Amino acid sequence: MCGRYSLTMEAEDIMEAFLIDEFLAEDWRPRYNIAPSQKVLGAVKANGKRRAGYFNWGLTPKWVKEPNKWKPLINARSESVTEKASFKHLINKRRCILFADGFYEWKRSNQMKQPFRFIRKDHQPFAFAALWDLNEAGGENKPACTILTTSPNEKVEFVHDRMPVILKEEQLSWWLDSDVPFAELQSQLAPFPAEEMDMYQVSGQVNSPKNDDPIILQKI
């Protein structure tokens, strides 16, 4: 599962790193502790351009008539996404990416849970593979998203049994191109190589979404 992550970059750097043509999140600020139900920054391809803007993290499918009785879906298993009614209508036409530069997972030990941060070894940002949908019931008109997950690599496995699907640079264009069938992409939704990642312990301050400042990134 992926339930918390960071994106500590300025808008200009995000645009450059991910080749964004249109940036629609004018109030963007660096985030250190992004949590489900919050606004998250990502991109789609529209009219041949990469357009970045906000999604709500936690997907409610368009066919849900009473969203207030639905638990938003923050993750989708990449191995079985074609079998799930909530996702199978999205896999070809409503793919998106979410920008990140680290994610958090918790290792349980007895009654304690120790948070760890995972980053790329070269400290570069990366993109999660995600799906989005629009549920207009109840007057809502906000796109919502879910992050795809896969089996863990050797580093993440030490902490958790799932990890987010991290796309490599050469995969971004294919993922965002709705002309490329999902069937051609599913096998590529594999664990990011462990040798290209670093991990370290962080403070329990990350446990609360109210804590959203740089101190959370510090190693302990």
96 included as an active-site residue: no
d(CA 203, CA 213): 12
59, 75 Cβ separation under 8 angstroms: no
2, 16, 26, 140: which one is catalytic?
A: 2
d(CA 209, CA 198): 23
105 included as an active-site residue: yes
Distances from the Cα of 177 to the Cαs of 49, 124, 181, 187, 207, in angstroms? 10, 23, 9, 16, 36
103, 149 Cβ separation under 8 angstroms: no
16, 66, 96, 105: which one is catalytic?
A: 105
List active site positions: 2, 105
